[in-house]
Chain A
Amino acid sequence: MSLTAFSHGPSGVAVEPAAQKKSRMVWFLLLPGLVYLGLFFITPLISLVITAFKEAPPGAFIGEYVNAFRWENYTEVLSLYGEHSVRSFLYAGAATLIALAIGYPLAYFIGVRLRPYPLWQSLALVLVIAPFFISFLLRTVAWKQLLADEGFIVGTMKAWSILPPDAHITGTSISVIFGLAYNFIPFMTLPLYSSIERLDLRLLEAGKDLYAGPVTSFRKITVPLTMPGIISGTLLTFIPAAGDYVNASANFLGSTSTTMIGNVIEANFLVLQNYPHAASMSLILMSAILILVSAYVFKSGTDDLL
């Protein structure tokens, strides 16, 4: 191979035009995607940044803002909504861990145990995606009904003294985290599955042969080899969960004491019409997630996995 590569040296010049043509073709094919990104991502992002610096002129109506360079928007939202930000990340983190704890065994079962039975494997995957056939708003409202104080679950738990008589689940952190985890489990399970499905079981046999018990095999072989799935699964769960405003909303599983950043942004945009605050909060959420995610990906040492 290397010898033939060298022998082509002199003719390398003749190859160049073809390479140029090829790279032009690449740009041509990329064009629709780039235009789309420019129109629907870069432009709104710039508009968002501009909005985040706007200020209300003296005597303005509600929702009337002019261009300015008002840094205070950021400090104001941070002091006003710092607690909500921390809560968002805690909720999203807890929901991600729960989704991982449920999604990993599920993906392992489908990807490894069902491997000899392709039909069952496909069926199980369809079942994982099946909830998507119903709007997640409906499903979340359904959970609100199920977990309601008058509902069967809470009633039974109270009857068995698992819950004190005055307790309730809806409107608490628990129900919000539960809702987030529930809604994002498919996003966790699918990338995990695609990773676990490719796991070479002969390596696990080699581990057994080399004196590794089941726990060690899992920790030292299975987990490192399925790390790409774990990382994309947790990212696909954590990022949207941190910005979610449905589960935590008082209309669904939350209450005023469970407000997350998403709810804050929603309220500022739609109710308070404080656009600069909403925009700066959005940008803070975006950068915080970006920093967290980069740190996580970097820490997992996945440069050769991703």
Chain B
Amino acid sequence: MSESVSGFAQGGADLELVGVSKQFPGFTAVDNVSFTVPAGSFFALLGPSGCGKTTTLRLISGLEEPTSGQILVGGKDVSSTKAHQRPINTVFQSYALFPHMTVLENVAFGLKQRGVKDATQLAHEALLLVELDHLADRKPTQLSGGQQQRVALARAVVNRPALLLLDEPLGALDLKLRRQMQIELKSIQSEVGLTFLHVTHDQEEAMTMADTVAVMNKGKIEQMGPPAELYELPATRFVATFLGQSNLFDGVVSGTSGKNVKVTVGKLTLEVPASRTKVTSGEITVGVRPEKIQISRKEPTASATRSVIGPGTVIDTSFTGVSTQYVVDVPGLNKLTVFEQNDGDIVAAGSKVWLSWATEFSFGIPFDTEEFVESDTTTRSLAVAKR
């Protein structure tokens, strides 16, 4: 490994997890997880608190041992090696900067452990990359949260690891700084060409930064793919509700019409393109994203390409600037959420409206009661509770 850290031109390596499980006494944190992260890509592991994403990360870094399964880095099985022997570095949620060392010593630490020549020089270069070289002689406690975060990033990146793991490193920053760091992180990733694996519970962060997003729930990967694909065509109820919002209608498949599958929802019949549903018989849930729905005061004409429901009553409007969010109550259905672009025409609460959308935007997912519910528990408090 030490010969490969000489230059700044070293790329990342593939990461492959094959049927990895981790059991703690009393519960399974990671349940038969398999995925591949191609070299040089930005992969995000997204999920709510306690879904097993941090445990997955710790398994990859070697801080935990898997109960079963294999972890391969660059095609080599590293499952049996110790954390300090793996060509992997982590940016920790808590940053975990060594308080007794200066910023420079922190950054040079990994290089010195491997006996890299010019460790100090390379550490300075890494600090330049995160624009903190002028603070090289400070102690970590003298830095702000955002600066500490960048030092933690420099300390990991400087080693040119085959794989860089990011454990919610932006979680402790305020929103503005977080957005700024997201952009910086992404640009550093494309600059140094390393393989990044980012763990986060912030779906917006995952979608804006990653090439591939894996949504994790209860120790399992629910769905994996490019962010747009996951958003446009969620495969499970959990993904549909965790990644953005969805209007969901539970129904039963009643037949087909052309390229569409017909679904009976109460007294209503909705259509879903057959290519956008894996379920073609029995119980099904039809979904549509709020921004795909058009709100109108007059009843639009339904057709094979346009689904219409209504009439319903607007029970709440909230103006967010770019768009207006409506909550519409349609008798016999759940309350629907609609995002309308702000075109100056706001429908007042209490108005009678019809909702319509292009049928090609509908998606069908298996009927399931599993829905994402926002909770107050943070990842850390949950992790502590489980120890």
Q: Which residues of A contact B (CB under 8 A)?
A: 116, 200, 202-203, 205-213, 216, 220-221, 224-225
Interface flag for B94 (CB, 8 Å): yes
Interface string of B74-114 (1 = CB under 8 A from A): 00000000111100111010101111100000000110011
Supposing A116-B387, A202-B94, A216-B113 touch, asked if A209 and B99 sit within 8 A by C-beta, the answer is: no
In contact, A224 and B63 (Cβ under 8 angstroms): no
Supposing A202-B94, A209-B88, A211-B110 touch, asked if A225 and B83 sit within 8 A by C-beta, the answer is: no
Chain A residue with Cβ nearest B82? A208
Beyond contacts A206-B92, A210-B113, A211-B110: 14 other A-B pairs, Cβ-Cβ < 8 A, are A200-B96, A202-B94, A203-B96, A205-B92, A205-B96, A206-B90, A206-B97, A209-B63, A209-B90, A210-B110, A211-B84, A212-B113, A216-B113, A224-B100
Taking the closest CB of chain B, its distance from the CB of A162, in whole angstroms, is: 39
Chain B residues, CB < 8 A from A216: 113
Chain A residues, CB < 8 A from B88: 209
Chain B residue with Cβ nearest A116? B387
Interface flag for B22 (CB, 8 Å): no
Q: Which residues of B contact A (CB under 8 A)?
A: 61-63, 82-85, 88-90, 92, 94, 96-100, 109-110, 113-114, 155-156, 159, 387
Chain A residues, CB < 8 A from B62: 208
Supposing A209-B88, A210-B113, A210-B159 touch, asked if A203 and B63 sit within 8 A by C-beta, the answer is: no
Chain A residues, CB < 8 A from B387: 116
Taking the closest CB of chain B, its distance from the CB of A228, in whole angstroms, is: 11
In contact, B110 and A202 (Cβ under 8 angstroms): no
Instruction: Across the A-B interface, give the 3 residue pairs with the lowest CB-CB distance, nearest first.
Output: A210-B110, A206-B96, A211-B113
CA distance A216 to B109 in the complex (A): 11
Taking the closest CB of chain A, its distance from the CB of B248, in whole angstroms, is: 40
CB contacts between A and B, total, < 8 Å: 58
CA distance A200 to B100 in the complex (A): 12
Chain A residues, CB < 8 A from B84: 207-213
Chain B residue with Cβ nearest A201? B96
Chain B residues, CB < 8 A from A203: 96, 98-99
User: Can you list 8 A-B contacts (CB < 8 A)?
Assistant: A207-B109, A208-B82, A208-B83, A209-B61, A210-B110, A210-B155, A211-B114, A212-B109
In contact, B94 and A221 (Cβ under 8 angstroms): no
Taking the closest CB of chain A, its distance from the CB of B31, in whole angstroms, is: 24
In contact, A205 and B63 (Cβ under 8 angstroms): yes
**Chain A interface mostly:** helix
Chain A residue with Cβ nearest B165? A209
CA distance A151 to B114 in the complex (A): 54
CA distance A88 to B385 in the complex (A): 52
CA distance A202 to B98 in the complex (A): 10
Taking the closest CB of chain B, its distance from the CB of A81, in whole angstroms, is: 42
Chain B residues, CB < 8 A from A213: 82, 84
CA distance A302 to B301 in the complex (A): 81
Supposing A206-B92, A208-B82 touch, asked if A225 and B99 sit within 8 A by C-beta, the answer is: yes
Residue of A203, A209, A212 ringed by the most chain B CB atoms within 10 A: A209
Name the contact of B83 in the complex, choosing from A116, A200, A209, A221 (C-beta under 8 A). Answer: A209
CA distance A226 to B58 in the complex (A): 26
Residue of A206, A224, A225 ringed by the most chain B CB atoms within 10 A: A206
CA distance A133 to B316 in the complex (A): 72
Taking the closest CB of chain B, its distance from the CB of A226, in whole angstroms, is: 10
CA distance A208 to B155 in the complex (A): 13
Name the contact of A202 in the complex, choosing from B89, B92, B114, B156 (C-beta under 8 A). Answer: B92
Taking the closest CB of chain B, its distance from the CB of A201, in whole angstroms, is: 10
CA distance A213 to B85 in the complex (A): 8
In contact, B63 and A208 (Cβ under 8 angstroms): yes
CA distance A212 to B387 in the complex (A): 25
In contact, B89 and A221 (Cβ under 8 angstroms): no
In contact, B100 and A210 (Cβ under 8 angstroms): no
Chain B residues, CB < 8 A from A221: 98
In contact, B96 and A202 (Cβ under 8 angstroms): yes
In contact, A209 and B98 (Cβ under 8 angstroms): no
